[in-house]
Structure 1
Amino acid sequence: MQFGIFTVGDVTTDPTTGRTPSEHERIKAMVTIAQKAEEVGLDVFATGEHHNRPFVPSSPTTMLGWIAARTDRIILSTATTLITTNDPVKIAEDYAMLQHLADGRVDLMMGRGNTGPVYPWFGKDVRQGIPLAIENYGLLRKLWREDVVDWEGKFRTPLQSFTSTPRPLDGVPPFVWHGSIRSPEIAEQAAYYGDGFFANNIFWPKKHFQRLINLYRERYAHYGYGTQEQAIVGVGGHVFMRARSQDAVREFRPFFDHSPQMGGGPSLEEYMEQTPLTVGSPQEVIEKTLTFRESFGDYQRQLFNVDGVGVPLKAVLEQLDILGEEVIPVLRKEFAKNRPVSVPDAPTHASLLAARDAANGGTGISPEVSAV
């Protein structure tokens, strides 16, 4: 099972000091956080994509390429890549390039985002969000899997004898997760292609996400990729820890109360009861996270948010130390217990390459090519 962190890259005022970091400081902090995540033994660092304030990660491939040059092991991902407003041709080329630079340590989470105005900024109609996601991803898959593409659709100009460059590393496209917090159509899309489904369950009650994940599992099996238990699932989480629970609550409460997403509604205690947010001791984070398997079944990827809502970099790095030293080792051990051998690990470039080669008789050449 993979454990990692994701960031949305918000620039938020620290309510305890009144200080707001600059965009430059926040961007540099995200790089520092990614390097620290590898240092403490996490498996994944994922960044969101946003084109509006107060967020800064408008160019995930630029940031992830920079991080790739400064890390050796950690998987670099997105949370999410906007499949609706980005050109599929540019996604295909940008992430294949990143895949080469990172020696395969790349996957993507496709999503529609949650900012309506971004659609007209990129010449798209927000009312076409689902059709855009479906058509654009269908084209992206062709671009990564076919050397020469002839294609015509509704939302962009046709392609004639087009080859996306560079080609995916080793002829194996990056693995794709489809992220959704509200749309059964996206769960269906993930299942249709046998891709992963990531339910970022950090804001809403678990019953909502249970329905989405169960739908994805059912349709994954329907399309013949395996049993429901073998579907590739990821979930989110949000944590803030101190050695003593009361210290964590006292320190985090101002950030919660002033958060545009969380503050002004239920209390911190009510919010923790209803969502995956865990503010407390490392043991409380372990216990809460282990309940996710009870809700969603055995799954493959767990990502935590530790750096949003204005939490200063020093405290974020302390959270990563606690995750790496006290939380993740226990979670790895506990999640491995009673895990059916039929449940697969999260795909990586190496595992996808090995599966491709095994299916092709160990030649590394597709049957279509070898038959020419």
Structure 2
Amino acid sequence: MQFGIFSVGDVTTDPTTGRTPTEHERIKAMVAIALKAEEVGLDVFATGEHHNPPFVPSSPTTMLGYIAARTERLILSTSTTLITTNDPVKIAEDFAMLQHLAEGRVDVMMGRGNTGPVYPWFGQDIRQGIPLAIENYALLHQLWREENVDWQGRFRTPLQSFTSTPRPLDDTPPFVWHGSIRSPEIAEQAAYYGDGFFANNIFWPKEHFQKLINLYRERYAHYGHGTPEQAMVGLGGQVFMRKNSQDAVREFRPYFDNAPVYGHGPSLEEFTEQTPLTVGSPQEVVEKTLAFRESFGDYQRQLFLMDHAGLPLKTVLEQLDLLGEEVVPVLRKEFAKGRPAEVPDGPTHAARVAARTESLEEAK
């Protein structure tokens, strides 16, 4: 079981001070948060991709490459790579290069994003979002596995005897997660390729994501990749902690009430009751996170959103200390209890290279 954090990279005014960080401060803060994640023993840092204010991570591989040079263990991932508006050739090249620089500590999460105007900015039509996601990923999948690619589709110019460079490290492409908030087509896509499926699991009740994950598991087995229980599932989550729950609620309330994504809507109490958001003590975070297994089965990766809504860097780093010291060690122990032997661990480059080598040996 892998634990980590994911960031959307928003630049939001702190409602308690009225101060808005600069883009430079926010970018440097994201780096500091990633370094802290490794320091406290987390497994993964993931960044989103956005091309509009108030977000800063428009070039995830640049940021992750910088973080790779300053870390040793951390798996570096995106929490969205826009498969609809990025050229699959450039994705193939950028992430293979990052793989080499990071010694394989690289994942990628495909998504369509939630900003409609991004499509025309990059010459695409939002009405073709699902077809773009399907076609572009089919090409990316091929580019990483074949050295000479002949290809023709609807949405980009054809390729003739094209070789993407550099080739994936150890002939093993980055592990791919397909992220979704609402689209069963994306769950189907993940299942078809035997890739991972990441359910955002933030703003909606668990029943919404149960349907998507169950569909993915069923179709994963249908396509012959293993049993439903062997499918690779990742989940998001949101937490804010203090030593006691009263302090956590009191401190987080102004951030919640004014956050661009959910402020001025349901109350904090209503939102925590109806969604995975946990505001309370470390023990409350442990209990709510452990309950995810009851809803979704054993899974491989849990990422938490912690640096949003204008929270200052100092507060986020304090949150990571609590996560690393009091939450994740307990979660690792409890999630390991009763975990069936056939349920796979979270993906790593080394394990995937070993599996590939074993498969080639068996084929001889």
TM range (shorter): over 0.9
| Residue 164 of structure 1: aligned partner | 164
Whole-angstrom distance in 2 between the partners of 1:277 and 1:216: 24
Q: Deviations over 1:56-106 (max 9, x none)?
A: 000000000000000000000001000000000000000000000000000
**Aligned runs of 1:282-361 on 2, under 5 Å?**
282-361=282-361
| Residue 269 of structure 2: aligned partner | 269
Whole-angstrom distance in 1 between the partners of 2:229 and 2:123: 40
TM-score by length of structure 2 reads 0.99
Q: CA RMSD in A?
A: 0.8
Amino acid at match of 1:86: N
| Residue 89 of structure 1: aligned partner | 89
**Aligned runs of 1:191-202 on 2, under 5 Å?**
191-202=191-202
The Cα of 1:344 is off from its aligned counterpart by 0.4
The Cα of 1:260 is off from its aligned counterpart by 1.4
The Cα of 1:263 is off from its aligned counterpart by 1.1
Residue 63, structure 1, aligned to residue 60, structure 2 = no
Residue 217, structure 1, aligned to residue 213, structure 2 = no
TM-score by length of structure 1 reads 0.97
| Residue 279 of structure 1: aligned partner | 279
The Cα of 1:346 is off from its aligned counterpart by 1.4
Whole-angstrom distance in 2 between the partners of 1:104 and 1:346: 14
**Aligned runs of 1:133-212 on 2, under 5 Å?**
133-212=133-212
Whole-angstrom distance in 2 between the partners of 1:60 and 1:87: 15
Q: Deviations over 1:10-34 (max 9, x none)?
A: 0000000000000000000000000
Q: Deviations over 1:242-266 (max 9, x none)?
A: 0010000000000000011111111
Residue 76, structure 1, aligned to residue 76, structure 2 = yes
Whole-angstrom distance in 2 between the partners of 1:185 and 1:127: 15
Q: Secondary structure at the match of 1:237?
A: coil
Q: Secondary structure at the match of 1:177?
A: strand
Whole-angstrom distance in 2 between the partners of 1:265 and 1:312: 23
| Residue 118 of structure 1: aligned partner | 118
Moved over 3 A (4+): none
Whole-angstrom distance in 2 between the partners of 1:261 and 1:142: 37
User: Where does structure 2 lack aligned partners over 5 or more consecutive residues?
Assistant: none
Q: Deviations over 1:134-167 (max 9, x none)?
A: 0000000110000110000000000001000000
Q: Deviations over 1:165-193 (max 9, x none)?
A: 00000100000000000000000000000
Q: Secondary structure at the match of 1:287?
A: helix
Q: Secondary structure at the match of 2:6?
A: strand
| Residue 27 of structure 2: aligned partner | 27
Residue correspondences, number: 364
Whole-angstrom distance in 2 between the partners of 1:78 and 1:361: 32
Whole-angstrom distance in 2 between the partners of 1:83 and 1:320: 30
Whole-angstrom distance in 2 between the partners of 1:359 and 1:347: 16
The Cα of 1:321 is off from its aligned counterpart by 0.3
Q: Secondary structure at the match of 2:13?
A: coil
The Cα of 1:347 is off from its aligned counterpart by 1.5
Whole-angstrom distance in 1 between the partners of 2:355 and 2:68: 25
The Cα of 1:312 is off from its aligned counterpart by 0.4
| Residue 48 of structure 1: aligned partner | 48
Whole-angstrom distance in 1 between the partners of 2:120 and 2:285: 40
Sequence identity of aligned pairs in percent? Answer: 82
Whole-angstrom distance in 2 between the partners of 1:294 and 1:56: 36
